[in-house]
């Protein structure tokens, strides 16, 4: 695997981790009943779902690209 390919994969994993971090924050907001209105909690829950799904999709792409890069080496 080239340095460029490794950097690309590292960037994908960093993006996935960022989405996980965002999903966790929104998930906590969606459960903050005493301080946040139902409308805000609902939007936070939707954002948590979006960010969680984005993280999964980015990791799937990274795994596919890793396999592709490994096949090119052989």
Nearest-angstrom CA–CA distance, 20 and 18: 5
Name the residue ranges covered by the structural domains of the chain: 3-73
pTM: 0.90
Cβ of 15: how many Cβ atoms within 10 Å? 16
**Cβ contact 28:51 at 8 Å:** no
Query: 39, 8, 44, 2: which is closest to 23 by C-alpha?
Result: 44
Q: One digit per residue, pLDDT tens: the chain, 74 residues?
A: 999 999 999 999 999 999 999 999 999 999 999 999 999 999 999 999 999 999 999 999 999 999 999 999 87
pLDDT for the residue numbered 44 = 98
**Cβ contact 50:7 at 8 Å:** no
């Amino acid at each position: 695997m080239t340095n460029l390919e490794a950097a690309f994969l590292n960037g994908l994993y960093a993006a996935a981790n960022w989405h996980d971090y965002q999903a966790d924050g929104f998930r906590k907001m969606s459960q903050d009943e005493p301080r946040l209105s139902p409308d805000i909690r609902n939007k936070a829950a939707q954002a948590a779902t979006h960010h969680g799904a984005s993280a999964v999709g980015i990791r799937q792409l990274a795994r596919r690209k890793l396999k592709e890069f490994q096949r090119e080496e052989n």
